[in-house]
Amino acid sequence: MTAGQVAVVTGGANGLGEYLVRRLHTGGCRVAVADLDGAGATALAGRLDDTGATARGYRVDVSDRAALERLLADVVADFGTVHILVNNAARTQATPLFEITRAELEEVLAVNLTGTFTACQVFGAYLAGRGYGRIVNLASLAGQNGGTATGGHYAASKGAILSATKVFARELASSGVTVNAVSPGPLDSPAVRSIVGADLDSFTARIPVGQLGDPAFIADMVALLASPGAASVTGACWDANGGLYLR
């Protein structure tokens, strides 16, 4: 990671997002922690750097294009530029497939798909204008194998993110901007443990490697794709699912 590069991480206040933020910051990036929970984003940024020189928190609703445009403007005003965008913000609702209402479907898609797609538009245009950039989208095993443990609408949105990644990669390649995806399987996280519940041991036993994924390793994958040396990788999806999906 090039020291001093500016990375924006959506959904960065907690969970996997916090791992991503910490990894990029440790790697030398100045990090904009963006989240619907603006107070949480600011608190995390303060724990990383209470001066605000290398980490700042921002409130953003990724389903709102104007909010994403403000986020870009604010980060550029504070840090001078942007080099990296990590689209991590997501909404998960483990609703049985035939009980998903239209309203709930639209709410999940608005964050997961529309938020990612619009952020790629807003930040992608800016990065292309500068002739350099890295965009990394967080997909999911659910979007590859049709898994619905996290909700059929979540799975559908993550599958669409994989297609959007290819669309933007093709469009932005000639401008020096790469666009890639990382697709984790079940991670050792409070969210996964909450969804699986008391069945965790038998759930883990069904994973070929016999263990949940490490969020810190996912953060390493994202950091590698976000690095200047990853120039020849675009439109790719890097899997980390313990052997649950092979291709």
Angle (CA) 61 161 70, round 5° = 25
Torsion, Cα 223 111 170 178, to 10 degrees, reads: -20
Q: Does 246 reside within a domain? A: no
Q: Does 27 reside within a domain? A: yes
| CA–CA dist 121, 6 (Å, integer) | 18
| CA–CA dist 240, 91 (Å, integer) | 20
**C-beta separation of 47 from 97 below 8 A:** no
Indicate which residue of 19, 132, 154, 245 is catalytic. 154
What would the pLDDT profile of 114-167 be if each residue is shown by its tens digit? 999 999 999 999 999 999 999 999 999 999 999 878 899 999 999 999 999 999
* Domain extent at residue 39: 6-184+217-232
Distances (CA, A) of 115 to 81, 107, 180, 225: 21, 11, 16, 20
Q: Which candidate, 178, 196, 192, 88, places its Cα nearest to that of 124?
A: 178
Q: Which amino acid is at 187?
A: L
Q: What is the 8-class DSSP label of residue 245?
A: S
What would the pLDDT profile of 176-235 be if each residue is shown by its tens digit? 999 999 999 999 988 788 777 778 889 899 999 999 999 999 999 999 999 999 999 999
Q: Which candidate, 185, 15, 163, 39, places its Cα nearest to that of 90?
A: 15
Q: Give me the pLDDT at residue 150, please.
A: 85
The CATH code of the domain that includes 31 is 3.40.50.720
* Gyration radius (Cα) of the chain, Å: 17
Whether 19 sits among the annotated catalytic residues: the reply is no
Q: Does 212 reside within a domain? A: no
Q: Does 154 reside within a domain? A: yes
Q: Which residues pair with residue 180 across a beta bridge?
A: 136
The yes-or-no verdict on residue 1 having pLDDT over 60 is: no
What would the pLDDT profile of 11-43 be if each residue is shown by its tens digit? 999 999 999 999 999 999 999 999 999 999 999
Average model confidence (pLDDT) across the chain = 96
| CA–CA dist 9, 196 (Å, integer) | 27
Q: Does 11 reside within a domain? A: yes
| CA–CA dist 149, 154 (Å, integer) | 9
Q: Does 194 reside within a domain? A: no
Distances (CA, A) of 243 to 206, 209, 211: 10, 7, 10
Q: Does 197 reside within a domain? A: no
Q: Does 240 reside within a domain? A: no
Question: What is the count of structural domains for the chain?
Answer: 1
- Cα–chain-centroid distance for residue 67? 17
